[in-house]
Structure 1
Amino acid sequence: MTTPPTADRMWVCDAPTATIDKGLIEAGASGDWMTPFPTFLIEHPEGLVLFDTGLSPDAAGDPASVYGAGATKSRIEYSREQRLDRQLRKIGFEPSDIGHVVLSHLHFDHTGGIQLFPDAQFYLGAGELRYALNPDAHLCGLYRRDELEAAQHLRLRELSGDHDLFGDAAISLLLLPGHSPGSLAVQVRLPGRTIILTGDIAHTRAAFESASPFPLDQDSTAAVRSIERLRALRDRSGAEVWIGHDPGDWLRYGPGCYE
């Protein structure tokens, strides 16, 4: 039997974190909640693929210099060593080596490093940029205007459905709207395991398992449908599901290399 094509390996970059009131992400909850802001680098024979770009590199060492009082209120911890460009160099790559950047969506904690990759091909879900430039009033604080304006000058490809990035099913982009209009997850088939990186389709393991929406979803009904679809895909395929903002998941997979 022919072995199906795979990506070579995936790197989980060390993530800045914030500590917030859990009630902000889970209805009825309270208490401190530590959440990471991870990014992932996937090595494929056809090129390097980055999933999300995290916080701005200019904020490393002094988050309030970029994010203002909100950085202090949410207790962001972000060292200079956690800058994405420094982490890429540590594992042997320059930012200019990255040919493809998949943005799960355009909230500020996913778009901070886009300026590091001016020549890459970027991928967004359909409608994401249009909405981000004119969001509902109560969601405006999730976006940074300067990063959105910069995004308009990138090589952008908007996806109206799922997309097999290299045509071999090794890296599949999954359109799962609800948290935002164009939210994307990524399924990565590695030699020894298949992993689904959820982006913000769900923010906690409990929300994923119970198909519960996030308090600040753009469309809660669509968000629940997307979680249910992702759970069904997990059940059919046996893929591991990694919830990017869940600290329990982060403690399990953390920074490192996976094959």
Structure 2
Amino acid sequence: MEVSVLNCGTMRPRGARFLVPRMSASPCLCLLIEEADRLILVDSGLGTMDMEDPTGRLGFSNVLLNAERDPGLTALRQLRGRGLHPEQVTDIICTHLDRDHAGGLPDFPDARVHVLRPEHDHALDPPSRRERERYRRCHFAHGPRWEVHEGTSGEDWFGFNCIRNIEGLPSEVVLVPLPGHTLGHCGVAVRYGQGWLFHCGDSYYARAELAVGQKAPAGVRAFRSVAHLDRSCALRQLERIKGLLAAHGSEVATIASHDQAEYVKRFGRAP
């Protein structure tokens, strides 16, 4: 089994280079898992149709988020560029269903889409205006093949409740509920080699947030208050991730969807 990091969309929020320099160019980091003759994605980033009409499909917020119109960044195009076929994507595991994570779902209509129950229910029937803006109906209009996961399996992953041994997924893939950013937000841990890669979704935005005993940059703190549905809950998850790295940093590496530093580390340049 091979695991790769893809950037499936870049947002360049207007004014961020002055207010939140660490988020001036925000990638959408996804995972590609290659197992035998099939492919699994963790998040799907922005999709082909989003690139054609970003404001129409991503909503009013895109006036500020300013998604870059580059079809070459879509998971669909990147897979083809690697000589892989979109039909090989059997499963997509979504950390959550915000526009910049679920936008690529229509490009893979036959894939099973794994989400936690609260995320599925809030995305398909948003109870608040705020959630109606973040979840885009156009991303689900094709009728995804939902695999909705209830609760946890009662098992433990480094002290986190988790969902293991999911039917149809490799045993090396573990879902870890991390509510806060959204109510059904989750992390996805993948065992490869001698360790784990833990995709934390939007649990943090900049590597600086993981520094023990230090405050996150002011701009990032301000952005949290806007982005997190339940800020206090999200911050509790962040503290748990810090604790995980303090205790098991030699076994677990983390990645977050929009971390510029992670992008530079992986690709050797700024997004």
TM-score by length of 1: 0.80
Q: Contact 1:126/1:181 (CA < 8 Å) preserved in 2?
A: no
Structure 2 counterpart SS, 1:124: strand
Structure 2 counterpart SS, 1:20: coil
- Output the CA distance in 1 between the equivalents of 2:170 and 2:135: 34
Aligned pair count?
A: 244
Equivalent AA in structure 2 for residue 253 of structure 1: R
Which residue pairs with 1:26 in the alignment? none
1:180 CA drift (Å): 0.6
1:13 CA drift (Å): 2.0
Find 2:130's aligned residue among 135, 138, 146: 138
Matched, 1:253 2:258: no
Q: Percent identity?
A: 25
Which residue pairs with 1:221 in the alignment? 232
Runs of 4+ in 1 over 6 A off after TM superposition: none
The superposition leaves residues 35-60 of structure 1 with CA deviations (integer Å, 9 ceiling, x where unpaired) of 11122211235942210011121133
Classify 1:146/1:62 alpha carbon distance in 2 versus 1 (closer, same or farther; 3 Å). Answer: closer
Matched, 1:164 2:164: yes
Which residue pairs with 1:90 in the alignment? 81
- Output the CA distance in 2 between the equivalents of 1:45 and 1:165: 18
Name the Cα RMSD after superposition: 3.0
Structure 1 counterpart SS, 2:139: helix
The superposition leaves residues 15-49 of structure 1 with CA deviations (integer Å, 9 ceiling, x where unpaired) of 321122577xxxxx556721111222112359422
Classify 1:47/1:80 alpha carbon distance in 2 versus 1 (closer, same or farther; 3 Å). Answer: closer
- Structure 2 unpaired stretches of 5+: 153-161
Equivalent AA in structure 2 for residue 12 of structure 1: V
1:130 CA drift (Å): 1.4
Which shows bigger deviation, 62-71 or 92-101?
62-71
Which residue pairs with 1:44 in the alignment? 35
Alignment of 1:17-166 (within 5 A): 17-20=10-13, 29-30=19-20, 33-45=24-36, 47-60=38-51, 63-64=54-55, 66-67=57-58, 70-71=61-62, 73-132=64-123, 133-150=125-142, 153-161=144-152, 162-165=162-165
- Output the CA distance in 2 between the equivalents of 1:123 and 1:159: 11
- Output the CA distance in 2 between the equivalents of 1:33 and 1:182: 27
Q: Contact 1:203/1:244 (CA < 8 Å) preserved in 2?
A: yes
- Structure 1 unpaired stretches of 5+: 1-7, 24-28
- Output the CA distance in 2 between the equivalents of 1:70 and 1:224: 23
Find 1:176's aligned residue among 156, 170, 178: 178
1:107 CA drift (Å): 0.5
Which residue pairs with 2:207 in the alignment? 205
Q: Contact 1:125/1:181 (CA < 8 Å) preserved in 2?
A: no
Q: Contact 2:109/2:142 (CA < 8 Å) preserved in 1?
A: no
Which shows bigger deviation, 32-41 or 142-151?
142-151
